[in-house]
Amino acid sequence: MTDAHLLIREYYRYFNERRFADAADLFTVDAVIQHRPDGAQLRGPEGYLESSRATIAIFPDIQIQILHVEQRGDTIVEVDLSATGTHQSDWNMGALGVLKATGESTTIRHRELLEIRGGKITFSSITYNLQAFVMTGSDPPR
């Protein structure tokens, strides 16, 4: 297993254990973070903390499972994920509107693209099928 793969496993383990400060330490200070559905960018460890806290506010019991990791070059890794949690709070998606809380457990398939340089995350972008989530409460399998 490569150093990047070990870092990735650690990254999601920290999230699942709610060790957000430890996960934030995996990012460079100038890392670009695109986790918001409206495409707004966050930066560095503070941006990661903002993203993770927002996620937990909406899905307090969320757990992320790694489905597949694919190396896409020397520094780029694509990670297929499944996140399961209870939708407890409204999800403000910026210009896309607000997805009202359902109180139901849902599973969201999504993908995170990571750039890893020098043992740190320099770029993170999460994508998911919002239309499928809004229509059915979860993404369909790919």
* Residues 77-126: tens digit of each pLDDT: 999 999 999 999 998 877 778 888 999 998 989 999 999 999 999 999 99
Q: What residues pair up with 102 in beta bridges, in sequence order?
A: none
The tens digit of pLDDT for each residue in 27-77 reads 999 999 999 877 789 999 999 999 999 999 999 999 999 999 999 989 999
Domains of the chain listed by start with CATH number: 3-136 (3.10.450.50)
More confidently predicted of 13 and 108 = 13
Q: Is the pLDDT of residue 140 over 50?
A: no
In this structure, the strands spanning 98-99 and 76-86 are unpaired
- pLDDT at residue number 137: 46
Cα-based angle 34, 37, 38 (whole degrees, multiple of 5) = 90
